[in-house]
Amino acid sequence: MKLPYVSGSSEGLPAEAKAVYERVRQRRGAGGFLPLDLALLHSPNLADGWNSLLGAVRTRSSLPDDIREICICRPALINKAWFEWNHHAPILEAAAGFTREMMSVVEQLNPTDQGALNDRQWAVLQYCDDMTRDIAVPDEALKLMQQAGFTEKEVVEITITCAAYNMVSRFLVALDVGEANSSPPKFSSKL
């Protein structure tokens, strides 16, 4: 990382910062702090907001695992946030009914057809690509989402998830959190 990680200990910190450390530790569970947390905790107040937002995105939306993880993996791939990719690609691959053939489409930087992805997965992939690359989403991409049967609530949750993980990927890459920037994963297709 381009900065030193903070200590994983809240020893000697003010009570408010200790409370933030505990909330982050509680969300992470038995695995403890990730390098991402140890970078964010340089600023406990912002780490607290991040923890709350990302906790909600990961656990409080109505999105099924495959859709949520496509929203996370596409910004990671496009932004070359390998720390994020390495954490979330296995979660996507483990999603119920998600196959290796489906994953091979998600791994492509510029897929030209949906391959094994169903219409919903393909619409989300394209929507997240538009959000990540161009920010402004063309009307056709939103229309494809609606044709795939996504409700307004789901479109909002997909948009928030993709936007949040664009934020995550940019933070990770800017500071080289996890020292992963120079270690792209091996893909079945060329990037």
Q: pLDDT tens digits for 51-82?
A: 999 999 999 999 999 999 999 999 999 999 99
Give whole-number Cα distances, 85 to 22, 89, 126, 191, in Å: 26, 5, 18, 14
Burial classification of residue 31, based on how many CB atoms lie within 10 Å of its CB (0-12 exposed, 13-18 middle, 19 or more buried): exposed
| Residue partners of 156: CB distance under 8 A and separation at least 6 | none
Domains observed in the chain:
15-59 (no CATH), 65-179 (1.20.1290.10)
Q: pLDDT tens digits for 80-104?
A: 999 999 999 999 999 999 999 999 9
Residue 191 has pLDDT above 80, yes or no: no
pTM above 0.85, yes or no: yes
User: What would the mean pLDDT of 32-36 be, rounded to a whole number?
Assistant: 95
Q: Give yes or no for a contact between 125 and 76, defined as CB atoms under 8 angstroms apart.
A: no
CA distance 79 to 117: 22
pLDDT score at 189? 56
Backbone angles phi, psi at 94, to 5 degrees: -85, -5
